[in-house]
Amino acid sequence: MSAPTAASAVAASAAALLRELLSDQGRRDPYPVYARLHELGTVVPLPPDGKHAAIVHGHDAVGRVLRDPGFAVLDGDYLDRTSTRWREHLAVQTMQNSVFHAGGDRLARVRRLFGQVFSASRAATLEPVIERIADRLLDELAAAAEHGAVDVMARFALRLPSDVIGEILGVPEPDRAGFPARVKAFDAILELGQRSFRELRAADTAAAELTAYFAALVAERRVRPADDLVSALAADDRLPEPELLANLIVVFNAGFRTTANLIGNGLHLLLQHPDSLAALRADPALAPSCVEEILRFDPPVHFAVRFAVHDTEVDGVPVPEGRTVLILTAAANRDPARFADPDQFDPTRTDNQHYAFSAGPHYCLGAALGRAVGRIALPRLLTRFPRLALAAEPAARHQFMLRGYDRLDLLCGTAS
C-alpha cells in the first residue's frame, strides 16, 4: 500500500472513530473509542474536508501541542476568518472576551489579575473556609437524609464550590442559588459537536442574565467596596468593562462546575470501588492521591481545540496553517504508553501527570483551589456518612466539556 493510500485509510478510520465518539453511545462511554485511537498512534489525521485536521490523543503529543505557541486558542480574529455570525450570539462574545479564548498580552494581563487569588498558597489559606462551609452543608445534608435519598449534587457537590468561589469573588450567598441553571445553559456552547439553535438561544439568554448580574454587582462594589475580588477588580482599570464582566462570569462558572463534577464523579467512582472508598475513609491522608486519580480517570473536561498559527506537524501528521486540531486530553489520561493499566482506577498511583487541568498558557487558573475543595470534601463526606450508598444509578452523561452528573441520589445513613 502506498504512503498516500495508507494515510487516507488512517484518516478514514479516525473520522469513523470521531463519528462514533460523538454518537449517543460514544458520549455515554468514550473510553473504548479512546483506546482504539491509541491503537492508531499518538496523532491521527482526519480527511481534508473535515472540521479538524487531526486528532491529538497521545499523552506526550497532547502536552506538546498545549504548550506550543504555534498552536493558538480560537480567538475573535480566528472566528472572524472562519465564521460569519458568531458576533450575533452574546454567549460566544462573552467567551471570546474571557481568559478562555485570550492569548498573548491579554491572556497574561488576565492571569496576573486573577492568578494570585487562585494560587496554591492562597488555596492553602482558604482551607479553613472550605472546611467550615463543607461542615455546614454536611449538617444540612444529614438533616435532609433523615427523610430518605438525597441528591448530593444539588445539596453538596454544587453548593460547596459555589459557596467557596462565591466568597472569594463576593457573590452574596442568597444570590448563588440562581446560578446553576444559568451556568449550565451558558456552558452548553462549549460542548464538542454541533449546537442547536435552541441551545444557542438559551446560552445567549443566560449570558445576558449573568452579564446583567455582574454589571450590577461591579457597580455596587464601586460605591460600597468589600474585601473580595469583585471589589478589587472594580477599582482596577486594567480590564475594559466587557472583559471584566466576561471573566467574572467564566471564572465563577468554571470555579464551581468543574469542582462539583470532580466531587460527583469521584463519589460515584468510589462507590463503584468499595476497597478504595474504605481506604480513603480510614485514612484521609490518601485524599490528595485519590483526587489526582479521579481527575485522571474520569475528568470533568475531555478536550480542547487549537489552530495552527503556521504550517506545522505533530508526530509526523501535517497541520496546515489555520486548520484546527482536536486535543483529547481525557484520552491522553488513559494513554497506555504513559500509564500502567490506564483503565484501572488506582488511587495509589504515583507520578500521576494527567491533563485534567490542561497545560501550558491555558492551564486552569483554579486548579489548586479545585484540588483543595476535592481533598477536603470527599473524606469529610465519607466520614460523616459511614453507610453511604447509591439510591439509584445516575442518568448517563452525554457531555465532554464539564462532564458530570446532573443528579446523584444517595442514601446517607449514619452509624446506628
Helix H or strand E encompassing 306 = strand 304-308
Specify the 3-state DSSP secondary structure of 235: coil
Residue 348 CB-density burial (10 A; 0-12 exposed, 13-18 middle, 19+ buried): exposed
Q: What is the tens place of the pLDDT at every residue in 203-224?
A: 999 999 999 999 999 999 999 9
What are the cell numbers at 366? Answer: 483554579
Q: How far apart are CA 44 and CA 316, in angstroms?
A: 9
Cβ-contact 307, 321 below 8 angstroms: no
What are the cell numbers at 138? Answer: 454536611
Q: How far apart are CA 33 and CA 26, in angstroms?
A: 7
* Domain 3-413 coded CATH 3.40.710.10: no
Q: What is the mean pLDDT of the chain?
A: 94
- Per-domain boundaries in the chain: 3-413
Specify the 3-state DSSP secondary structure of 297: helix
Strands (DSSP E) contained in 143-239 are 150-151
Specify the 3-state DSSP secondary structure of 326: strand
Res 416: pLDDT: 40
**Phi-psi region for residue 37, left (φ > 0), alpha (ψ -120 to 50) or beta?**
alpha
Q: What is the tens place of the pLDDT at every residue in 377-406?
A: 999 999 999 999 999 999 999 999 999 999
Cβ-contact 101, 74 below 8 angstroms: yes
- Residue where the block lists cell 496576573: 112
Listed as ranges, residues in the chain with pLDDT below 70 are: 1-4, 414-416
**In this structure, is the dihedral angle defined by the CA atoms of residues 84, 88, 89 and 95, taken in order, positive or negative?**
positive
Q: How far apart are CA 329 and CA 306, in angstroms?
A: 12
Cβ-contact 83, 94 below 8 angstroms: no
Res 414: pLDDT: 57
Query: Residues near 52 by Cβ (< 8 Å), separated by ≥ 6?
Result: 46, 305, 323, 324, 325, 326
Alpha helices in 227-283 (DSSP H): 229-234, 241-272, 274-282
Helix H or strand E encompassing 313 = strand 312-314
Q: How far apart are CA 158 and CA 391, in angstroms?
A: 19
Q: How far apart are CA 118 and CA 110, in angstroms?
A: 12
Backbone angles phi, psi at 358, to 5 degrees: 70, -155
How many CA atoms lie less than 13 Å away from 239 in the CB half-sphere?
Answer: 28
Helix H or strand E encompassing 325 = strand 324-327
Cβ-contact 27, 397 below 8 angstroms: yes
In 3D space, the residue among 414, 416, 354, 361 whose CA is nearest the CA of residue 385 turns out to be: 414
Res 3: pLDDT: 53
Residue 161 CB-density burial (10 A; 0-12 exposed, 13-18 middle, 19+ buried): buried
Residue 173 CB-density burial (10 A; 0-12 exposed, 13-18 middle, 19+ buried): exposed
How many CA atoms lie less than 13 Å away from 263 in the CB half-sphere?
Answer: 33
Cβ-contact 89, 196 below 8 angstroms: no
**In this structure, is the dihedral angle defined by the CA atoms of residues 335, 336, 342 and 346, taken in order, positive or negative?**
negative
pTM for this structure? 0.95
In 3D space, the residue among 343, 338, 369, 379 whose CA is nearest the CA of residue 355 turns out to be: 338
Res 1: pLDDT: 44
How far, rounded to the nearest angstrom, does the alpha carbon of residue 65 sit from its chain's CA centroid? 18
Res 114: pLDDT: 86
Report the residue count for the chain.
Answer: 416
